[in-house]
Amino acid sequence: MASVPFDQLDGFIWMNGEFVKWSEAKVHVLTHGLHYASAVFEGERAYGGEIFKLTEHTERLHESARLLGFRIPWSVAEIDAACRDLLARQGFQDAYVRPIAWRGSEMMGVSAQNNRINLAIAIWQWPSYFDPEQRLKGIRLDMAEYRRPDPRTAPSKSKAAGLYMICTLSKHAAEAKGYADALMLDWRGRVAEATGANVFFVKDGRLHTPTPDCFLDGITRRTVIELAERRGIEVVERTIMPEEMADFEQCFLTGTAAEVTPVSEIGPYGFEVGEIARVLMNDYAAAVRPRQAIAAE
Q: Are 189 and 130 in contact (CB under 8 A)?
A: no
Q: Which residues are catalytic?
A: 159
CA pair distance 13, 218, nearest whole angstrom: 25
CA pair distance 180, 133, nearest whole angstrom: 12
Listed residue (140, 253, 238, 144) closest to 198, CA to CA: 253
Q: In sequence order, which ranges of 91-164 are alpha helices (DSSP H)?
A: 132-137
Question: What is the CB-side half-sphere exposure of residue 267 using CA atoms within 13 A?
Answer: 14
CA pair distance 252, 139, nearest whole angstrom: 9
Question: Sign of torsion, CA 79 80 85 89?
Answer: positive
CA pair distance 121, 124, nearest whole angstrom: 10
Q: Are 41 and 100 in contact (CB under 8 A)?
A: yes
Q: Are 149 and 156 in contact (CB under 8 A)?
A: yes
Question: What is the CB-side half-sphere exposure of residue 244 using CA atoms within 13 A?
Answer: 16
Residue 101 buriedness (CB in 10 A; 0-12 / 13-18 / 19+) = buried
CA pair distance 215, 226, nearest whole angstrom: 19
CA pair distance 145, 183, nearest whole angstrom: 9
Q: Are 57 and 42 in contact (CB under 8 A)?
A: yes
